[in-house]
Structure 1
Amino acid sequence: MMKDVVREQAQEQTQAGLVTVRRAVTDLLRQFGMTTMFGNPGSTELGLFLDFPEDFHYVLGLQESVAVGMADGYAQATRNAAFVNLHSAVGVGHAMGAIFTAHKNRTPLVITAGQQSRAILPFDPFLFSSQATELPKPYVKWSIEPARAEDVPLAIARAYYMAMQPPCGPVLVSVPADDWGRLCEPVQARRVSRSIRPDAAMLDRIGRRLDAAQRPALVLGAAVDRDEAWDEVVALAERHRAAVWTAPMSGRNGFPEDHPLFAGFLPAARERIVGLLSGHDFILALGAAAFAYHIEGEGPHIPPGSELAQIVDDPNTLAWAPAGTAALGSVRAAVRDLLQRPEPPRRDDPPRRAPAPRAEPTPLMSVAYVLQTLAETRAPDSIIVEEAPSARPVMQRYLPILQSETFYTMCSGGLGFGLPAAVGVALGKPERKIIGLIGDGSSLYSIQGLWSAAQLKLPITFLILKNRSYAALREFAPVYGFTPADPLHGVDLPDIDFVSVARGMGCGAARVSDPGALAGALREALDVSAPFLLEIDVA
């Protein structure tokens, strides 16, 4: 009865030009093209879903980090902010690892978090967030709990514009439970520019130095593919006959890895970067930090006698860069301007990257053999969503990425992104085959995403590289003084049956350990039009 009265009052007020906060927000989201919501709701969020619009789609994750991971993949695939709904303080807390990854990925997310009703906030009620705007910091660009219910739609509009402005990233709006039914004025979406053109004088300086270089190199970061600059960067490299490297810890690829100018991947270690870039007199980093390190190092940041320039859309990245000229702005706009310059002097091609040696089958398959077979089996335009840290150096040799927007991983180093992100990418690109290439240890941070994939009937093939350990830690241990004889605690993962887990969540599944059966098993798994998990035993 009370609900009917509220609806009648809302209808009367709507005729007077006012609508409920709920209606204003969903109308605004529709204008933004954000009719898919991701979440794991609690009691304080239920008010959003009363009279839920028929053209909206709610994607349920069985844990908040899974919901954010799916939204991250979806936002990257659609190039638009994704809407996420989390439960008060505990839900945001559960999701913080995924929010951190979205922050590092530069993924635009509009996150709403529930809050208890305003009338009982003075009494520290159950399930309220005492410092809702502070909880997600510093990994959101902006956070707010509006002072009035009537301000919620405007806050969400501002959140969208901020999330989409370079550098993109997550934002958070805390919404008290009783705000959704209050009345407010509708909000119309505005057109807000998202392109930053680099300073012309600085870009001319970089262009002149690039033209004069004898042995230039390009270092590409994730922003190249995020900014749809793949084709322009290929043209720039070919014009200057520049060697092309992928920056350390890059979550996207920006160049075809079978191209004669592709030189390889830079590691996150200072001395090794300097060694690999030695011989280049000018280094231009595009959409990349110069440089991301994982371990401490010594000496110069670039080879002696070389010069560094950087074009990126994040002023903070430019501020901490240890050396070089820097320009702030869109990679695509900058490269297009550089391509308008007169033709540079003709240069010889840099040395070609040596091909990887052929991986041969062994009784317990190597990761190289598995990824080599996958490269020979998959369609070139299929999309790899990867989270297998110990396998990544091998992947970079045996599983080349050949097209734009066909590779996603996390820029953060935190685990739990890959499996739910594959679900989000599949939702955002329904016409494409999605391959989730996941380590067994990584998968367990967000294994609940299999259920979401099964419920949505998405064409994802999950490949679990099962080495029964956190293998990346074994490889990293010598950096901290471990010898092969020293025990390493907490890295073994025995006795996990991923086939049973997948079937229990509604996915088809199989296991392969025989190298002679691998190619056939991959073909069958990739041909399935529903979610399917293939557990692959590797050394």
Structure 2
Amino acid sequence: MPTVRDVTLDLLRRLGMTHIFGNPGSTELPMFRDFPEDFSYILGLQEATVVGMADGFAQASRNAALVNLHSSAGVGHAMGNLFTAFKNQTPLVVTAGQQARSILPFEPFLHADRPTEFPRPFVKWACEPARAADVPRAIARAYHVAMTPPFGPTFVSVPVDDWDREGEAVEPRQIATANPGDPRALAQLVEALGRAERPVIILGAGVGRDGAWDAAIRLAEALRAPVHVAPFACRNAFPEDHPLFAGFLRASRKDIVETLAGHDVALVVGGPLNLYHTEASGPHIPDALDLWLVDDNPTVLSWAPSGSAILANSRIALDYLAERVHASSRAAPPARALFARPEGDAITDRLAMHRVAALRPTESVIVEEAPSSRDAMHDFLPIVRADGFYTTASGGLGYALPAAVGIAMARPDERVIALIGDGSAMYSIQALFTASRLSLPLSVLVINNRRYEALESFGRHFGLGKVEGTDLGGLDFCALAAGHGMAARRAETPEELDAALTWSFAAEKPTLVEIVVA
């Protein structure tokens, strides 16, 4: 009779999940007995790094990825990036080892106490099957829950002795989950857009997740409406060199109200509009603004402070709208001004972003986690192609470097460029090992300003004269790269920067460039 392991691996093969991301422990080893040759075990040297790699791979491949963690300790290490995967709405199936069933009453060493509760609330569903034979069915359900919008991680705890027991076959199912939206509500939205004299569009990460790039362009051009990116969007949704692109909304009540003032109808698709980072008072939107929200996440729609909401897939909804609105003859809004090369003899983050934009390959993907340089990136490094940008939706650090490894695995014919702050890089530096081992076409660019500059900025916001614990002087990222088997160069002048970027972008193997900024 087939074992639980045999049945599970066959199920995973049929679901297209033949990459297993993990850092193995004793309670997981029987899963890998006679590991089949058509599967790949992707080794990460710390569990947060493992989840970040799986997150990037799942987003870029548009299929759930399988993560294998080690009991409570491994789940604990992974929680930061599990939180990010939940906020990113990334489909993951997370498994974790549990001690043998026969010794669980004695609280054995390395057992998981209340395993299904520990990863909550950052998983959509969690289970420790009642019988060994139920493990494959639990993993199948976890897959379908993860792949049902809003996407997200799920969790299955598996006792170590279950894998060698007799298994019960389970057939993968096809479940259609894309929500087309209420046709009556969408028809009302078409009417509202038709009446609008000064419409505006705000696009969030759901546009990227749902593959709605082209539909968003068609609708914006039909309406001749300016397009903004929603606050903290973790995916790109609109070409940033398009004449209708109007910039990035800040996570601030005041900025949102001021930016949307003068518009009569606002359409927000694929993410929240009123996402805030600091406390403030006052209105959430301008008076008399007719606000419409379209998203496939009912939680986001439920806490929105205002606006009419439609639960729908972004691509299907935008296609519907683009096909039905009448092309407008109104004058297009003024195009956003483009920024010239920054002047000066020293490297600044603004110059670094400008040079990356100038020298990057056409088919390249930016994965970013450099919070203090984000404004510079917005101004000097436009993202101009679909699925060309990824970052963390949670604000938690340690995501982008391993995510870039996973994205490079899923998109091996494209140059993946990881833009990482020096502080962010140290949260998951172990990802360099995996990138080096897999020989991925990855350029890791570390923006080294020798401090947690984002915290220094917030310190000024809160009126602190000095911010403790922000000095990062003394880190040597070239040495760290070499220690993980990766070639590296340091750039301290503009000339060295151009040479190092050119070298990195042409390399067949992963490389690191340490960019020392003023």
Of residues 235, 239, 262 in structure 2, which corresponds to 1:279?
Answer: 262
Equivalent position amino acid for 1:416 in 2: G
Equivalent position amino acid for 1:451 in 2: F
Alignment gaps of 5+ in structure 1:
1-12, 14-18
Equivalent position amino acid for 2:105 in 1: P
Map 1:364-379 → 2, pairs under 5 A: 365-379=347-361
User: Contact 1:211/1:344 (CA < 8 Å) preserved in 2?
Assistant: no
Measured after TM superposition, the shift of residue 516 of structure 1 is 2.2
Secondary structure of 1:340's match? Answer: helix
1:71 paired with 2:50, answer no
Of residues 425, 428, 432 in structure 1, which corresponds to 2:410?
Answer: 428
Equivalent position amino acid for 1:470 in 2: Y
The residue that corresponds to 1:492 in the other structure is 471
Measured after TM superposition, the shift of residue 342 of structure 1 is 4.8
Distance 1:124 1:372, change over 3 A: same
Q: Distance in 1 between matches of 2:93 and 2:466?
A: 44
Q: Distance in 2 between matches of 1:500 and 1:58?
A: 27
User: Contact 1:361/1:515 (CA < 8 Å) preserved in 2?
Assistant: no
Map 1:312-323 → 2, pairs under 5 A: 312-323=295-306
1:337 paired with 2:320, answer yes
Q: Distance in 2 between matches of 1:215 and 1:478?
A: 37
Measured after TM superposition, the shift of residue 341 of structure 1 is 1.2
Q: Distance in 1 between matches of 2:37 and 2:495?
A: 49
Q: Distance in 2 between matches of 1:511 and 1:481?
A: 35
Equivalent position amino acid for 2:360 in 1: R
The residue that corresponds to 2:204 in the other structure is 221
The residue that corresponds to 1:231 in the other structure is 214
Secondary structure of 1:384's match? Answer: strand
What is the TM-score with the length of structure 2 in the denominator?
A: 0.99
The residue that corresponds to 1:529 in the other structure is 508
Question: Which stretch shows the higher mean deviation, 339-348 or 412-421?
Answer: 339-348
1:242 paired with 2:219, answer no
Q: Distance in 1 between matches of 2:424 and 2:72?
A: 25
Map 1:31-430 → 2, pairs under 5 A: 31-363=14-346, 365-430=347-412
User: Contact 2:361/2:505 (CA < 8 Å) preserved in 1?
Assistant: no
Q: Deviations over 1:125-161 (max 9, x none)?
A: 0000111000000000000000000100000000000
Q: Distance in 2 between matches of 1:336 and 1:259?
A: 19
Of residues 487, 492, 496 in structure 2, which corresponds to 1:508?
Answer: 487
Measured after TM superposition, the shift of residue 362 of structure 1 is 2.5
Equivalent position amino acid for 2:125 in 1: W
Equivalent position amino acid for 2:431 in 1: G
Secondary structure of 1:472's match? Answer: helix
Q: Deviations over 1:385-421 (max 9, x none)?
A: 1110100111000000000011110100000001100
Measured after TM superposition, the shift of residue 255 of structure 1 is 0.4
Secondary structure of 2:324's match? Answer: coil
Equivalent position amino acid for 1:452 in 2: T
Measured after TM superposition, the shift of residue 354 of structure 1 is 2.3
What is the TM-score with the length of structure 1 in the denominator?
A: 0.95
Q: Distance in 1 between matches of 2:218 and 2:510?
A: 38
User: Contact 1:437/1:464 (CA < 8 Å) preserved in 2?
Assistant: yes
Secondary structure of 1:235's match? Answer: helix
Measured after TM superposition, the shift of residue 76 of structure 1 is 0.5
User: Contact 2:222/2:328 (CA < 8 Å) preserved in 1?
Assistant: no
Q: Distance in 2 between matches of 1:82 and 1:205?
A: 38
Alignment gaps of 5+ in structure 2:
none
Measured after TM superposition, the shift of residue 380 of structure 1 is 2.7
Measured after TM superposition, the shift of residue 276 of structure 1 is 1.2
Measured after TM superposition, the shift of residue 277 of structure 1 is 1.4
Q: Distance in 2 between matches of 1:340 and 1:403?
A: 23
User: Contact 1:380/1:403 (CA < 8 Å) preserved in 2?
Assistant: no
Of residues 430, 435, 460 in structure 2, which corresponds to 1:478?
Answer: 460
Following TM superposition, the consecutive aligned residue runs of length 4 or more in structure 1 with deviations greater than 4 angstroms are none
Distance 1:214 1:295, change over 3 A: same
Distance 1:286 1:34, change over 3 A: same
The residue that corresponds to 1:449 in the other structure is 431
Secondary structure of 2:420's match? Answer: strand
User: Contact 2:55/2:406 (CA < 8 Å) preserved in 1?
Assistant: yes
Equivalent position amino acid for 1:30 in 2: R
Question: Which stretch shows the higher mean deviation, 268-277 or 74-83?
Answer: 268-277
Q: Distance in 2 between matches of 1:342 and 1:198?
A: 17
Q: Distance in 1 between matches of 2:506 and 2:74?
A: 37
Q: Distance in 1 between matches of 2:258 and 2:382?
A: 23
Percentage of matched positions with identical amino acids: 52
Measured after TM superposition, the shift of residue 357 of structure 1 is 4.5
User: Contact 1:106/1:167 (CA < 8 Å) preserved in 2?
Assistant: yes
User: Contact 2:179/2:313 (CA < 8 Å) preserved in 1?
Assistant: yes
Secondary structure of 1:38's match? Answer: strand
Q: Distance in 2 between matches of 1:358 and 1:451?
A: 35
How many pairs does the alignment contain?
518
Equivalent position amino acid for 1:420 in 2: P
Measured after TM superposition, the shift of residue 44 of structure 1 is 0.3
Q: Deviations over 1:483-522 (max 9, x none)?
A: xxx1211011010110011001100011010112221221
